[in-house]
Amino acid sequence: MQLEEKISIIESVIFASGDPVSTERIAEAAGVEEENIDKFVKLLNDRYESVGSALIVLKLDNFYQLTTRKKYAPYIRIALETKKNAALSQAALEVLTIVAYNQPVTKSFVEQVRGVDSSSVVNSLVEKELLEEAGRLDIPGRPVAYKTTPGFLRCFQIESLGELPPLPNHSEQITFDEVDDVKQEQKEDTQGN
């Protein structure tokens, strides 16, 4: 195996992990001796430096992690804040309501209530840290259940789920027939004038 290929393998392992990776795991994956990992990482960092890359591999005790250089932190912060502060869509608000009042729930429960595929909305809310996994249900297929996060509480400026407004009971809800009656009365009133 050529030197460049070993460096690329090490780079791919560190990149794909996202989290710090131990020297031992990197060496095992790349098929090289542990004592040579420092040298390979230095060559990788030299490569990044030579092209002016924003990336750098940091050594953290006996671990390595691919990160961005500190000078780019303000730009990253702006990008991430903009993303987190984006307004929630109507679909996102519906999903949050369903989860908040019924948690923990599965994606299929949310989809059953909404009547449409909600996977991407749930995934987006997990990414925005408004929902999180709450374990797996002990039923066939062991689906993932979701619940709201402390970020959800912060977003809606409440201290606990107990502060959510109560759901209307059945007697307070208007039926479709009643809506039709009101529309018919309005139509008759406009035709009579």
Q: pTM to 2 decimals?
A: 0.48
Average pLDDT, integer, range 146-153 = 88
Compute CA distances 43 → 32, 46, 48, 135, 151, whole Å: 15, 5, 9, 42, 41
- Residue-wise pLDDT for 8-25, tens only, equals 999 999 999 888 899 999
Structure tokens of 103? 């948690």
Asked, colleague to colleague, whether 3-71 and 90-168 share their fold, the answer is yes
Query: Residue 185 pLDDT more than 90?
Result: no
Q: Which of the four CATH numbers 3.10.20.30, 3.30.429.10, 1.10.10.10, 2.40.50.70 does domain 3-71 have?
A: 1.10.10.10
Q: What's the DSSP call for residue 88?
A: P
Q: What are the tens digits of pLDDT across the range 40-88?
A: 999 999 999 999 999 999 988 789 999 999 899 888 888 877 555 667 8
Domain boundaries in the chain? 3-71, 90-168
pLDDT of residue 33: 93
In angstroms, the Cα distances linking 149 to 3, 54, 157, 172 are 46, 32, 12, 30
Residue labelled with tokens 């009643």: 178
CATH number for the 90-168 domain, one of 1.20.120.530, 3.30.420.10, 1.10.10.10, 3.40.50.300? 1.10.10.10
* Consecutive H or E run containing 152: helix 150-155
Q: What is the mean pLDDT of the chain?
A: 86
